[in-house]
Chain A
C-alpha cells in the first residue's frame, strides 16, 4: 500500500479514470542496450480520439507502441486496457507495424495477409470460410485495394503495401487501433485513403493512436498529441499540448528544421 501511494504521489496529476481508457501505460521503461529507449513513460489513451505520438528520430515512439503491446519486453511498467490486463483485451486491439519491419518477398498474397487479422477468431485449426473471405475483401475495398487480392505482396508499391497492412488491422475488428508510422513513405493518394479510413474509425467511436512524423499535418489529422523524447514531454489536446514550447522541449535544437507554420 505504501508503495502504491508513493507511486501515485509521483504523478501529481493522475488521469481522471483509467478504467475507461482503452490503454493506460504506467512507468514503462525499455532498454535495448545500456541506454533506455524509453524511460518511465506514462500515457493515458483518450477513448474515441485520434492521438499522434510525436518525437524526434530515436525518441522511442515505435518502442512505446511495441512495449505497450508486449512485442518487446519492457524492463518495468504496466499496461491496462479498459481497466483490465492487456492479455485479456487482445481481441479488442489492432496493431499495424512499420512496413519496413517485414520481408515483403514472403510468398503470400494480399488476401492472405488480410486474413491474418482474423487469426484470433479462426484459432488453431478453424477453416477460412466464405464469410471470412468476404470480410477480407470488404476490408481491402475500404482501403481501395480490392482489385489486388490475388497479387503477391512483393509486387505492390510501398503505399499499396501500407494499405494492405491497414486492411489487416481493419480485419481485426478492434476498438483500439495502434499504428506505427502509417504515413511513412507513402504517396499522396495512399495518405488520403488512410486518413479517410482513420477518420471513419473515429466516427464509429473507435480509438486511434498513430506514430506520426509529419508535424505539418498533425493539426489536420489528430485530436490529441503525445510528445516523447525517451521521457514523456507532453500529452493532451492538440490546442494546448502541440505548442512551440512543447515541441522545443521534445526536439531541442532540431526544431529549426521543422516546416514553417507547423505550429500555430
Chain B
C-alpha cells in the first residue's frame, strides 16, 4: 500500500471511524452499568426523523440544525412514550419499542419522499453512513498532515468527529466520580448532595450528541454497536471501572481500524472483487470481540462463583 494513497483514501475514514467508536463507547460504559444500554439504540433510531426534518427545513446538512432536529425528535419520543403508556396502559418497554421503531420508520419514509440526491442523506447512509467516501483529495503523502493548505481540504466530518470525541472524553473525565457514585448507588449519591437527576440527564444528552455527530459520518449501525459492544466486552475483562473504560476504548479502536481494513481488503484477500461496507464490518468486528471476551474474558464468571477461599 502506497503511503500517498493510504493518507488520502484510508486514513481519514479510519480516524473518523475511530473517533465515532470512542465517542459512543465512553458514555456506553455508564449506560451499560445503569442498565440503560438500549438508550443508545433508542437515540439512534429516534433522531433520524429529526435529522431529516432539519434538513428539509434548512436545506443543508449542518451540525447545529441537525442537533436541534434530533433534540426535538427525542422530546417528541419521550412525550409519545408517556402518552402511549398512559392511554394504552401497556408496559414502558413495549411503549418505547413501538415509538422507537415507528419514528425510525417515519424517518425512512420522510427520507424517501424528499430530494436528497445531492447530499449524503438517504436510507443507506442512515444505516451505514458514508465512511468510504470521506476521502482527502488534497493529501499527497504523510507530509500533508503538516501542511495547512492540505489540512483545509480534510473532510469536515473529521474535525467534527474529533471535537465530539474530545468533548465526550472531557465530560467523562470531569464528572468521573459523580457518574461512578450515582451509577453504583443513586440513593447514597443524593445524600452526599450530588444532583443525580441532572447527572443522568447529562449522560443521556452527551450520548445523544455522540450519536448524532457519528450518525452523519458512520450511520446508525456503528452507533448502536459501539454504545454496547466495547463496554460489554470490557466489563468481562476486569472488575474495575477505570480499567473497564480503558478496555472499552481499546476495543472501540480495534473495531474501527480492523473493521475498516477488513472491509476494504478482506474480500480481495479472499479472491472477491468488491469491498464490503466498512460500517457493517466495524460493527461485526465489535460483535466478534464481545464474543471472544464472553468466552475468554477473565471476569466472565457470574458473581459469587468467583469467590474463593
Closest to A155 in B: B307
Q: How far is it, in angstroms, between the C-alpha of A168 and the C-alpha of B191 when the chains are bound? A: 13
Residue pair B241, A107 in contact (C-beta under 8 Å) = yes
Contacting residue for A155 out of B178, B183, B238, B306, CB 8 A: B306
Contacting residue for A107 out of B188, B191, B192, B239, CB 8 A: B239
Contacting residue for A105 out of B190, B240, B244, B303, CB 8 A: B303
Q: Is A7 on the interface with B (CB-CB < 8 A)?
A: no
Residue pair B184, A116 in contact (C-beta under 8 Å) = yes
Cβ of B93 to closest chain A Cβ, rounded Å: 19
Known contacts A119-B177, A152-B239, A152-B306; A106/B183 CB under 8 A: yes
Contacting residue for A71 out of B174, B187, B239, B307, CB 8 A: B187
Closest to B303 in A: A154
Cβ of A243 to closest chain B Cβ, rounded Å: 33
The residues of B that contact A113 with a CB separation of less than 8 Å are 184
| Residue of B238, B243, B307 contacting most chain A CB atoms (<10 Å) | B307
Q: Is B45 on the interface with A (CB-CB < 8 A)?
A: no
Residue pair B193, A120 in contact (C-beta under 8 Å) = yes
Q: Is B194 on the interface with A (CB-CB < 8 A)?
A: yes
How many A-B pairs have beta carbons closer than 8 Å: the answer is 85
The residues of A that contact B304 with a CB separation of less than 8 Å are 154-155
| Residue of B184, B188, B304 contacting most chain A CB atoms (<10 Å) | B188
The residues of A that contact B180 with a CB separation of less than 8 Å are 108, 112, 116
Contact indicator per residue, chain A 132-176, by CB within 8 Å of chain B (1) or not (0): 000000000000000000001011110000000000100010000
Cβ of A155 to closest chain B Cβ, rounded Å: 4
Q: Is A220 on the interface with B (CB-CB < 8 A)?
A: no
Q: Is B181 on the interface with A (CB-CB < 8 A)?
A: yes
Residue pair A101, B303 in contact (C-beta under 8 Å) = no
Could you pull out 12 A-B pairs where Cβ atoms are within 8 angstroms?
A: A101-B185, A103-B33, A106-B33, A107-B33, A107-B235, A107-B238, A108-B184, A122-B177, A124-B175, A125-B174, A152-B239, A154-B304
- The interface of chain B, by Cβ under 8 A from chain A, is 33, 174-175, 177-178, 180-181, 183-185, 187-188, 190-194, 235, 238-241, 243-244, 299, 303-304, 306-307
